[in-house]
A and B are shown apart, each in its own frame.
Chain A
Amino acid sequence: MAGATTAGRAHAPSVSSRFMRLSATPGQIALALGITVFLVLFLIVPVGTVIYVAFTEKGTGEFTLVNFLDFARTDLFIRSFWNSVYVSAMSVVVASIFALPLAYITTRFEFRGAMLIQTLGFLPLIMPPFVGAVAMLLLFGRNGTVNLLLDEWFGIKIPFMEGLNGVIFVQAVHYFPFILINLSTALRNIDRSMEEAAQNLGSSGFRLFRRIVFPLAMPGYIAGASLVFVKVFDDLATPLLLNVKDMLAPQAYLRVTSIGIADPMGYVISVVLICMSILAMWISARAMRGKDYATVQRGGGGLAKRTMRPWESALAYAAVLLILLLVLAPHIGLLLLSFATIWSFSPLPDAFTLAHYGRVFGESFVYVKNTLLYASIAGLIDVVLGTAIAYLVLRTKLIGREWLDWAATAALAIPGVVLGIGYLRTFYGVQLPDGTPLATLWITIVLALAIRRLPYALRACYAALQQISVSLEEAAENLGATKMRTVRRVVLPLMAGGILAGFVTSFATAAVELSATLMLVQSNADAPLAYGLYVFMQSAAGRGPGAALGVIAVLLVALCTFASHMIIEKSQRAKGASR
């Protein structure tokens, strides 16, 4: 049945079925319109009000494209462009090296502590601003713990954090969870019968992984890898922390935020960043086209979990531990920093104290409450939109549906400060009946967070839906279920793992975002943790308390992540049992 429908769609369809396919149900059209309105209102208009400057002549404000010509003619920008491409591509490679073993070992084998590893492997994504950087430098910097010890023992220093290679190292550590989380979800969703069939035909070991398992998990891997690429391409914090300025995103940031100079080039670079992000997503979509990753049988609990032989198990534990130690080093550093009295040019802090926690204890409560509230609302908005957009793109034939995907993805490329300024410009003039500007309400922060983190949730939902065979839905509809009911009873439950992965990613990263927040926070009572951290990290005395707040933020998000992993595992086990 399913095969017949697919064939019918691929070959010249009859007029009536063509009509049926092209037009969507009114519900779908309404959904698409609703999402369009949301994106236009909270993404395209605010950003447009800022970056239109890229197309105007300075002084007169007339329309011109000369700025883009200038971009191409400036050595610095061209050098920055290629540096950004190189760093992004290499970060994907290094991040894959971190993520593949962790994902494979924890999903493929009976491995004690798999859930804990999944949670810990996720932590690097939650790098609180400023303190994370300080902690990382204290460990891996030129005079960090590692290099001071190396210098003492062997008289050498390794430039972990210098130049473009330093950026690649830090970015790979920071963003590899995107690959880990999406790939793990994909591996869990693979139909066990595929693997069994291959094994019956004599395939095993690495060949089985290379030819069957990994290709089937491709949507998850591509979702993660494309996110890493685009995120690294658009990230400005890490290069600036390492004092690498000849990359595109830092160049845009430095220009947009320098006061007193009306410089269109910062916005020109923003436009280039947006175009590159959309291009990268388009390429990754092209790479997936024409292949079918969907598997029909679902809910088998994913791949068969093998028990490892003792030596295999020892090897696996060693590999996992090594990777975790490396990627969690910043957090270990952060923890040390939060207990340290003074830590300066020495392998370890001079002494330890609890005073920093004492100082932040009282005031952190309001920050924690706000952070949880904002990040969870933003995460919810993201998965709702993400699921809806993924459904519209993959399951309907609406004209221009890809543009929803691309518009949402473009949010990744927009510097937070541009979005923040855009929100002020668009919503500060809008007044509530009593005269309060709309932009002063905390809900504005939530919307900005939701828009900024939407691409993460979207990619996760997209990958999850790609792995579901259409034939399941067709079967449901043939049995008389309405579209609505099919979505609710078949599609959503099957996507649950991906949706949850998307929520966790959006939630966790929203919890530590600062650049747009800093523009929009209107009072201490409405401020999230990242803002509190920023306030502390402006003075020498604030370093310890800042680190303590950072630890609180990480713990908070880690707890939530762990809880959601528990939920995934439980539901998978429940499904497996009922089979």
Chain B
Amino acid sequence: MLRHSVAAAALIGTALFTGAAFAQSGKVTVVTSFSKDVTDPFKQAFEKAHPGVTLDVQNRNTNAGVKFLEETKANNQVDIFWASAPDAFEVLKSKSLLQKHKPKAEGIPDKIGSYPINDPENLYSGFAASGYGIMWNDRYAKANKLPEPKDWQDLAKPVYFDHVAMAAPSRSGTTHLTIETILQGEGWEQGWRTLKEVSGNFRQITERSFGVPEAVNSGQVGFGIVIDFFAFSAQASGFPVKFVYPTVTTIVPANVAVVANAPNKAGAEAFVDYLVSPAGQEVLLEPSIRRLPVNPAVYAKAPADYPNPFKDPSLGSRVKFDVDVSEKRTNVVDVLYDQTVTFQLDALKAATKAIHDAEAAIAKKDNADAKALVKEARGLVAAVPVTEQQASSPEVAGAFTGGKEKGARQAELEQQWAAFAKERYQQAQAKAEQALKLAR
């Protein structure tokens, strides 16, 4: 059996090799997390613009793609890495798996919103942008008589309890950026307070980005915090969903990079150049793709109501975003969210529900003691086990990346943080229940 398979393998290997040699100049291998709806139009347009070149698209989720490049670097066969999450590119960059390339394109500004479009060292380039917002299922909202939300804070209202979903920031680079934007915009303490108040209304925290629009599309969850094109493409396919950009939102670029030691370097660079060229940028306007071009001139060809981050100040430019601050504490923020929210969701929801009930009772019958108790409960929910300084300190960050100095281990920190949060959620729930009794 074994000998047979080796023989078969050798035979097929030869076939593959001769095939590859034949089209040497013409095959560009792309590893991407984008769906067929996005890759197919680009493949067609690019192959038309460069006759004789074929684009070989391999679909992998972002994590698998990064791991794949890492494991195969000794004998790399991939030319292009193409995905949304900027953090994935950061990881690839830090492992020297990318190759420098400055795209030959004019008219592309340095920043979109407050986020830089290209990597400062030109190891990867932004080719499109997307904004975060709230998507909801219209039938669901009507059936449950829920109002249309306009802003992030709306989602913290009691009426949305158990109706909202989001992807975990540790699993979705774009969600991570949204969280980070809130933390930078509102400050560490207040930012976590907002995050936990919204999170207390969550129905679920999914482990992949597409899980959220999928749940909203099928009506399992009413409202989702999603990246805009998920909502737009769902609308284009006919799902009864609506979408709104909150007054303050992040704009995040989607990126492309040439892989280090790409077998077809010239082809890879041609593809990157094509993506940011006016022709490539126009492909982004197709209904099934609907992402925001990084070239401001291209918006002239867009439909009338197309969002334009270069004109509309609410799209990204109101937010201050410091990339350095974000980078230093990426892992800390992710793990902190997972340990205090994702894995403690039941306790957090119980506390949130109790607070909502108590506040409703107080609204009917005022009681100063009860009010004080609820305020205490809210404070307990909002508490964070690490300060802003600690979060970006090398000791804490080193626990996640495996720094040389001996600090606490990741597992120890996780246990501490989880216990901290759980204890406080339970106390908060008790206080809120006490307040409810007083106000009744």
Contacts and interface: CB of A to CB of B under 8 A. Distances in A.
Interface of A: 34, 38, 58-60, 66-67, 70-71, 73-76, 134, 137-138, 141-144, 240, 243, 245-246, 250, 254, 257-263, 265, 341-346, 381, 384, 417, 420-421, 424-425, 428-429, 431-443, 446-447, 518-519, 521-524, 531, 534-543
Please give me the 8 A-B residue pairs with the lowest Cβ-Cβ distance, nearest first.
A345-B219, A70-B411, A538-B35, A59-B402, A424-B71, A540-B234, A539-B35, A58-B402
Contacts of B218: 134, 137-138, 141, 143, 343-345
Contacts of B410: 58, 261, 263, 265
Contact of A437 (B34, B75, B241, B343): B75
A254 B171 CA distance: 8
Contacts of A434: 13-14, 17
A443 B139 contact: no
Interface in B297-355: 330-331, 334-335, 339, 342-343
Contact of A541 (B207, B219, B288): B288
Contacts of B398: 59
Given A76-B343, A428-B71, A538 B210 contact: yes
B79 to A, nearest CB: 13
Q: Which of B139, B398, B402, B414 is packed against the most chain A CB atoms within 10 Å?
A: B402
Contact of A540 (B1, B58, B230): B230
Interface in B62-104: 62-64, 66-68, 71-72, 74-75, 77, 87-88, 90-91
B108 interface: no
Contacts of A447: 5
Interface residues of B, number: 89
A72 to B, nearest CB: 10
A259 B13 contact: no
A542 B36 contact: yes
Given A143-B220, A542-B36, A345 B240 contact: yes
B414 A442 contact: no
Given A59-B403, A260-B330, A261-B400, 17 more contacts: A58-B402, A70-B412, A74-B418, A76-B339, A257-B67, A258-B171, A259-B67, A262-B402, A344-B240, A345-B139, A432-B10, A437-B77, A518-B60, A519-B67, A538-B36, A540-B214, A542-B35
A345 B140 contact: yes
Contacts, number: 224
Contacts of B74: 428-429
Contacts of A518: 60-61, 64
Interface in B154-175: 170-171
B188 interface: no
Contact of A425 (B64, B71, B140, B409): B71
Contacts of A441: 9, 12-13, 16
Contacts of A245: 207, 342-343
Contacts of A446: 5
Nearest to B60: A518
B401 interface: yes
A442 B13 CA distance: 10
Contact of A67 (B33, B66, B230, B411): B411
B255 interface: no
Contact of B239 (A344, A439, A531): A344
A524 B402 contact: no
B16 A436 contact: yes
B330 A70 contact: no
A535 B59 contact: yes
B434 interface: no
A246 B418 CA distance: 13
Contact of A257 (B58, B64, B215): B64
23 contacts: A70-B415, A71-B411, A134-B218, A137-B220, A143-B220, A243-B204, A254-B207, A257-B67, A259-B88, A261-B331, A424-B72, A428-B72, A432-B13, A437-B75, A443-B12, A519-B67, A523-B58, A524-B58, A535-B59, A538-B210, A540-B217, A543-B214, A543-B217
B25 interface: no
Contacts of A144: 220
Interface string B1-32: 11001001110111011001000000000000
Contact of A258 (B1, B90, B170): B170
A424 B2 CA distance: 19
Interface in B93-119: none
Contacts of B389: none
B205 interface: yes
B426 interface: no
Given A134-B218, A441-B12, A541-B237, A259 B37 contact: no
A440 B343 contact: no
B419 interface: yes
A531 B57 CA distance: 13
Interface in B208-237: 210, 213-215, 217-220, 230, 233-234, 236-237
A279 B125 CA distance: 51
Contact of B64 (A66, A263, A519, A542): A519
Contacts of B35: 535-536, 538-539, 542
Contact of B219 (A66, A143, A384, A537): A143
Contact of B37 (A66, A70, A134, A539): A539
B189 interface: no
Contacts of B62: 259
A52 B213 CA distance: 37
B414 A74 contact: yes
Contacts of A141: 218, 220
A256 to B, nearest CB: 9
A417 B17 CA distance: 27
Contacts of B14: 434
Nearest to B240: A344
Contacts of B331: 260-261
A436 B409 contact: no
Contacts of A436: 13, 16-17, 20
